[in-house]
Amino acid sequence: MQVNITFRHLEPTEALKEHVKAKVDHIQRFVDRPGEAHVVLHVENLSHHAEITMKAGAFSVRGRGKSDDMYASIDAAADKIERQLKKHKERVRDHKATLIPKDWIPVDIRHEIHEEQSEAPSSRVVSTSKFQAKPMSLDEAIVQMDLLNSRFYVFQETKSHAINVVYRRDDGKLGVIEARPS
């Protein structure tokens, strides 16, 4: 598995690199098809942050850790990913996986984050990401959202081929936005 490590506001050391690689190798045991891992380590206001993102087959998994020690932050992020992967394997074991239809056409999705400016009524794009919405059931989208530790997930519904968004509400419950062509 390829491991990319990014250091921000932190001196890169061989000891940190080896610790990250050891943790990623440990997590790799729970992945059927190893892909790549990207690790971002940074210090912010005396807090050490570690974010590990792993791509394995069709799924991506993300874990974040924050503490006063970088090694503890790396351990916390790796532990979160390990728990997510174990939970995912249990769900897959309990549910039958739906197959991707042969006539499926990938749909490109663009996601932008805007930042409101206090002086002007318009907004400014802060971040943009582009990805393909994969066909899956609502249950699979919820699992993927949980694996990514995200508040929302955009996917293509298998039966209707519509683009849907599943999201976690402020009260902890889940919501779904179904987009239908006009």
Q: With respect to residue 100, please indicate whether it lies within any of the assigned structural domains.
A: no
Q: With respect to residue 140, please indicate whether it lies within any of the assigned structural domains.
A: yes
Own/partner long-range contacts of 50-57 (Cβ < 8 Å, ≥24 apart):
50/74, 50/76, 50/77, 51/77, 52/20, 52/23, 52/24, 52/27, 52/77, 52/78, 52/81, 54/24, 54/27, 54/81, 56/31, 56/32, 57/31, 57/32, 57/33
Return the CATH number at 151.
Answer: 3.30.505.50
Q: With respect to residue 94, please indicate whether it lies within any of the assigned structural domains.
A: no
| Residue 148: per-residue pLDDT | 79
Task: Please compute, for residue 156, the number of CA atoms within 13 A of its CA located in the half-sphere on the CB side.
Answer: 16
129 against 163, higher pLDDT: 163
Domain count, the chain: 2
| Residue 69: per-residue pLDDT | 92
Q: With respect to residue 37, please indicate whether it lies within any of the assigned structural domains.
A: yes
Q: Does 14 share its domain with 42?
A: yes
Q: Does 81 share its domain with 121?
A: no
| Residue 104: per-residue pLDDT | 62
| Residue 43's pLDDT band (cuts 50, 70, 90) | very high
| Residue 172's pLDDT band (cuts 50, 70, 90) | confident
Q: With respect to residue 101, please indicate whether it lies within any of the assigned structural domains.
A: no
| Residue 121: per-residue pLDDT | 52
Q: With respect to residue 95, please indicate whether it lies within any of the assigned structural domains.
A: no
Helices 14-28 and 70-94: crossing angle in degrees, nearest 10, is 10
Q: With respect to residue 99, please indicate whether it lies within any of the assigned structural domains.
A: no
Residue 115 domain boundaries: 107-178
pLDDT digits (tens, 9 = 90+) for 76-114: 999 998 888 887 777 766 554 445 556 666 666 665 555
Instruction: Give the predicted TM-score (pTM) of the model.
Output: 0.55
Q: With respect to residue 65, please indicate whether it lies within any of the assigned structural domains.
A: yes
Beta strand pairing status for 36-44 and 174-178?
Answer: unpaired
Q: Does 114 share its domain with 162?
A: yes
Q: Please determine, for residue 130, whether its predicted confidence score (pLDDT) is greater than 90.
A: no
